[in-house]
Structure 1
Amino acid sequence: MNCRTTDRDTRESAREPMTTTYMPGTRIDHYEIIKMLGHGGMNRVYLASDVRTGQKVVLKTPNDDIIGNVALFERYKRESEIGNRIKHSNVQHMLNTEEQRSEQYLVVEYIQGQTLRTKLEEIAPNVMPRGEALRIVIQICDALAYCHEHGVYHRDIKPENIMIDDDGNVKIIDFGIALLEGARRVTWRGLSNTVGTPDYMSPEQIKGERGTASSDIYAVGMILYELLCGHTPFEGENIFAVMNQHVSQDPPSILQCNPDIPPELATVVMHAIRRDPEKRYKTMSEMLHDLENLPAVKPVHYHPDAPKEGRAWVREVRIASIIIIALLIIAIALGFLAQYVHYAAH
C-alpha cells in the first residue's frame, strides 16, 4: 500500500509550495506509517512500524523545500552523522543507518513517554521536587558530557528536547542544529551561528557566535533554574526583551526565587549561567561532578557583574535581533524558491 499525497493535491490552484505527506498504512521500504507525530520547518515526523521486526520507530522525512536548500539539507544529513557517532543510553538512538533506502529519511528510536516541558506543565504552578530535578539534570549532564567528548555540541537544549520515558529515564532528542566538530561549515555567517531557543540560549549565541560546550552548559543551568523555581530567570513581553537580558546582565540569584535551595546547589546553578562564558564551568564533566557530589561543593556568594547599559548597547542588541530575523526570512524565501524550481523542473 502506498498512500502518499502532496500539498499540490489540495492547493495546486494557490501555487503554494508542496510537501509530501504520508498517510497511515503507507509503506516506505520496510517501514509502515502508523500516524504523523508532528512537523516543523525541516521535517515531518511519523510513528511507523518496522515490518521485519514489529518494532515501533520514528521516521523523520525532510520537507521538500529543504532538499533544494544546500545549507538546510546539510544540517538534516548531519543529524545522521551525529547519530552514528553518539551511542549513549540518555540520547535518542539513530537506527539502521547502514541500510539502503529508496529516499531520504532518518529512522530513530521511538520513546514512549513525555517531554520535560509537558512534565513541567503538569506540575505547574508547583516546582519540581529537588531530588527529581537533580536526577533528571544529572542524566542530561552525563549525556552531554559524552557528546562533548565525541565532538558534538547540541546547541538547542530546552525542555522540549528532553524526553522522559515511562521508566523515568532521560532521552535527549533533536540534534538537527547540533555542531559537529570538524564538520564542513555550509551556512551563512550570522544565520548558522545564532541557533537555539531564546529562554535557554547563551549570550554568545545571541550575539552570533558559534555555540559550543559552554553554550550547552548555560542551557542546562537555565533548565535546572527553571525546575527549582518554576520559571527561567529572564522573562519579558517579547523575544527582544528576553534576548536583551541574556546579553546585558547576569541572571538574578536563584535564592531570590527559592531561598530553600541549599547554598551548594545554588552555587552550581549560578556557576553554570554566568553571562561571561569564562566564568562558567569549563566542561560539562565538571558540572556533572559537582551535581553528583553536592556536599563537597564549597558555597560561593553570588556576585553578578554590573549590567551593560547605554543606548548604544540597546541599539546593538536590537540591530542584531533584526538581522537574525531578516536572515531567517531570506532563508525561508530561498527555500520556497528552491522548491518551486525543483517542482518546475519535474
Structure 2
Amino acid sequence: MAVLMTVTRQGEDLPLLMKVPRLREGEDPAAIVSFEMEQMIMPRLSGPHVPRFVAQAGFETEPYIVMERIQGAPLSIRLRDLPLPAEEVASIGAAVADALDALHHQHVVHLDVKPANILFRETGEAVLVDFGLAHHELLPDLMAEEFRLPYGTVPYMAPEQALGIRNDPRSDLFSLGALMYQLATADLPFGEPQHLKGVKRRLWRDPVPPRRRRAGIPPWLQEAILRCLEVDPERRHPTAAQLAFDLRHPGQVALTDRAEKMRRDGFLTVLRRRLRQQEPRRRAFATARQIQAAPILAVALDFAETPEILADALRNQVQKMLANRPGARLACVNVLKSALLTIDSTLDDQGRNRHVQRLLELRHWAMPLGLPEGRVTFHVLEAADVADAILDYARANRVDHLVLGARASSFSRRLLGSVAGKVAAEAPCSVTVVRRRQPE
C-alpha cells in the first residue's frame, strides 16, 4: 500500500525511513484510509517496541510519514530456516508478546501481526511496524467505518477479526499463536484461504496439532500455541504479558488436554461446533451514559452540486448542533459516484487522485469548525447509488443524527426522487435537511 524510502535530515543522527502512500491509477482506496489511520496512531506511540515518530505531512501536499529506520531485518527472513528449535520459537514469541503488551497499554490493537511486520533491535527488543490496519481505542476507526470486508493478513487473522470485531487485544495473541505455529512446524495452521468463507472455517475447524506435524515440539509449547489459537478469546491468555511469562517459564506452564493432543477434532465434534457456532462477544469500551453523551453526527456533502451558500448553511447547522453536544463526534461523508457498466478512472482530468481530492474538499469544508483531531473524521465512499451509500454508512456506523443539503429542484429530481428525500424516508436515525434560502 506504500513506498518506503531511506531519507536523511540535517542535524538528525537517527537513521530515518519515509513512507509514502501509493496514489496511482487503480490503487485500492483502503491504501489512503489505512495511511490516515497510521498518521493518527504513530505520533501517539512511544517506547522501544515501535519506531520513533519524526514527522508527517497530510494529503494537502505530498503525504508522508517519517520515522526511525530499524536496522534489523524483519522476522520474515527467518522463514527460509523453518522449522526453528522450540527454544528459539519461545524466545521470539516472548519478545513479540512483550511488544504487544506495550502496544496494548497504549490503547492500540495491531491487527496485522505477521513476520514482515516484526523487526528486532540490536538490543533484542521486538519492534512492531505498519499500523495502517490497527485500532486505537481512543480514536475513530476509519477502516471499520468505511469498509465492510475485514482487512488483515489471512493466515494470521483471528476469527473475530474475520467477523468485523477489531477492538479486542486478544486478536493479536491469536495472530502470534499462528506465527509461532508456523515457526515451529514450517506450516501455516489454517493454510492460505483465498475467500472470506475459507477464513471463517477457523471458527469451527481446529488446526492439526503442532506435535502431529513435528514430534520434537515439547508439550508446553503446543499448550501455549493452541491456547493462543482458541476460537473464543476468553479461552486465550488474558494478556500478552501472561503469554510472554509462559514462554519464558516453560516448566511452570499449566498443561491441559491441549498439550498432548495429536489429532484434530473428529467430524461429529466439528459438526456440533458448527451447528452451535456462537460469534465471539464484542467488548464494549463505553458505558451507556457515555454513548448518550457522545452521539455520532454525520454530514453528507456533495461538492459537485452544492452551491457555496448551501455549504455555509450546512456548516452553520452542524456548528449549532455541536455546540449543544460537547461530546459529539462529527463524520463528514462524500460519495464518489461510480458507473454501473464501465470502469471508472481513479484520476481526474488533471491527473490527480479523485479520492484524495474529495478528501481534501471535506477537510477544507470542516476547517472553519475548528474541531480537534479525533472529534472529526472524513470519509469518501464509492458507490453507484448515492442515497444507498449514505444509508448504509449510517446503519453500519450507528449514526445518531444525519445532516444533508437539499439540492435545487429539477425535472429529473421531481420525476425520480431526490437523494435527501430517500435518505430522510429510510434513515435509521434523526435527519436534518438544510435547504438554501430562496431569493425574495
The TM-score with structure 2 as length reference comes to 0.56
| 2:15 counterpart letter in structure 1 | K
1:163 equivalenced with 2:119 (yes/no): yes
Q: SS state of the match for residue 142, structure 2?
A: coil
Structure 1 or 2, whichever has the larger Rg, is 2
Alignment map for 1:42-191 (pairs within 5 Å): 43-64=2-23, 73=32, 75-96=34-55, 103-121=62-80, 123=81, 126-165=82-121, 169-187=125-143, 189=145, 191=147
Structure 2 stretches of 5 or more lacking a match? 277-337, 361-440
Structure 1 stretches of 5 or more lacking a match? 1-39, 314-329
How far residue 311 of structure 1 moved from its aligned partner, in angstroms, is: 10
Note if contact 2:56-2:64 (Cα within 8 Å) is conserved in structure 1. no
How far residue 260 of structure 1 moved from its aligned partner, in angstroms, is: 1.9
Partners of 1:341 and 1:174 lie apart in 2 by 22
Q: What are the superposed Cα offsets for residues 290-323 of structure 1, whole Å, 9 maximum, x if unpaired?
A: 112221112111277632579999xxxxxxxxxx
Q: SS state of the match for residue 8, structure 2?
A: strand
Residue 204 of structure 2: which of 243, 248, 251 is its match? 248
In structure 2, do the counterparts of structure 1 residues 311 and 265 end up closer, same or farther at CA, with 3 Å as the change threshold? closer
User: After alignment, is 232-241 or 85-94 more displaced?
Assistant: 232-241
Partners of 1:224 and 1:89 lie apart in 2 by 22
Partners of 1:226 and 1:295 lie apart in 2 by 23
Residue 235 of structure 2: which of 263, 273, 279 is its match? 279
> What residue is the counterpart of 1:196 in the other structure?
152
Q: What are the superposed Cα offsets for residues 121-175 of structure 1, whole Å, 9 maximum, x if unpaired?
A: 2x1xx41122222222111101111111110000000111112356654221111
In structure 2, do the counterparts of structure 1 residues 155 and 192 end up closer, same or farther at CA, with 3 Å as the change threshold? farther
| 2:66 counterpart letter in structure 1 | V
Partners of 2:153 and 2:344 lie apart in 1 by 22
Note if contact 2:75-2:119 (Cα within 8 Å) is conserved in structure 1. yes
Q: SS state of the match for residue 113, structure 1?
A: coil
1:263 equivalenced with 2:219 (yes/no): yes
State percent identity of aligned pairs.
Answer: 25
In structure 2, do the counterparts of structure 1 residues 289 and 336 end up closer, same or farther at CA, with 3 Å as the change threshold? farther
Partners of 1:46 and 1:335 lie apart in 2 by 25
Q: What are the superposed Cα offsets for residues 73-118 of structure 1, whole Å, 9 maximum, x if unpaired?
A: 45423323322332221222222469xx975321111122322112
| 1:194 counterpart letter in structure 2 | P
| 1:59 counterpart letter in structure 2 | M
Note if contact 1:193-1:205 (Cα within 8 Å) is conserved in structure 2. no
How far residue 276 of structure 1 moved from its aligned partner, in angstroms, is: 2.1
> What residue is the counterpart of 1:307 in the other structure?
270
Note if contact 2:99-2:126 (Cα within 8 Å) is conserved in structure 1. no
In structure 2, do the counterparts of structure 1 residues 256 and 311 end up closer, same or farther at CA, with 3 Å as the change threshold? closer
| 2:37 counterpart letter in structure 1 | R
In structure 2, do the counterparts of structure 1 residues 258 and 342 end up closer, same or farther at CA, with 3 Å as the change threshold? closer
Note if contact 2:155-2:192 (Cα within 8 Å) is conserved in structure 1. no
Partners of 2:24 and 2:195 lie apart in 1 by 27
> What residue is the counterpart of 1:218 in the other structure?
174
Residue 339 of structure 1: which of 347, 353, 361 is its match? 353
Q: SS state of the match for residue 270, structure 2?
A: coil
Q: SS state of the match for residue 353, structure 2?
A: helix
Partners of 2:271 and 2:15 lie apart in 1 by 51
Q: SS state of the match for residue 138, structure 1?
A: helix
Partners of 1:74 and 1:237 lie apart in 2 by 25
RMSD: 3.8
Note if contact 1:95-1:107 (Cα within 8 Å) is conserved in structure 2. yes
1:205 equivalenced with 2:161 (yes/no): yes
How far residue 282 of structure 1 moved from its aligned partner, in angstroms, is: 2.0
User: After alignment, is 47-56 or 237-246 more displaced?
Assistant: 237-246
User: After alignment, is 76-85 or 131-140 more displaced?
Assistant: 76-85
How far residue 191 of structure 1 moved from its aligned partner, in angstroms, is: 2.5
How far residue 222 of structure 1 moved from its aligned partner, in angstroms, is: 0.7
Note if contact 2:86-2:221 (Cα within 8 Å) is conserved in structure 1. no
The aligned length equals 282
Note if contact 1:84-1:97 (Cα within 8 Å) is conserved in structure 2. no
In structure 2, do the counterparts of structure 1 residues 87 and 223 end up closer, same or farther at CA, with 3 Å as the change threshold? same
Partners of 1:236 and 1:53 lie apart in 2 by 42
In structure 2, do the counterparts of structure 1 residues 343 and 264 end up closer, same or farther at CA, with 3 Å as the change threshold? closer
Q: SS state of the match for residue 54, structure 2?
A: coil
> What residue is the counterpart of 2:317 in the other structure?
none
In structure 2, do the counterparts of structure 1 residues 111 and 274 end up closer, same or farther at CA, with 3 Å as the change threshold? same
In structure 2, do the counterparts of structure 1 residues 102 and 255 end up closer, same or farther at CA, with 3 Å as the change threshold? same
In structure 2, do the counterparts of structure 1 residues 78 and 228 end up closer, same or farther at CA, with 3 Å as the change threshold? same
Partners of 1:333 and 1:112 lie apart in 2 by 41
Q: What are the superposed Cα offsets for residues 25-82 of structure 1, whole Å, 9 maximum, x if unpaired?
A: xxxxxxxxxxxxxxx2xx322111123335431111233469x999764542332332
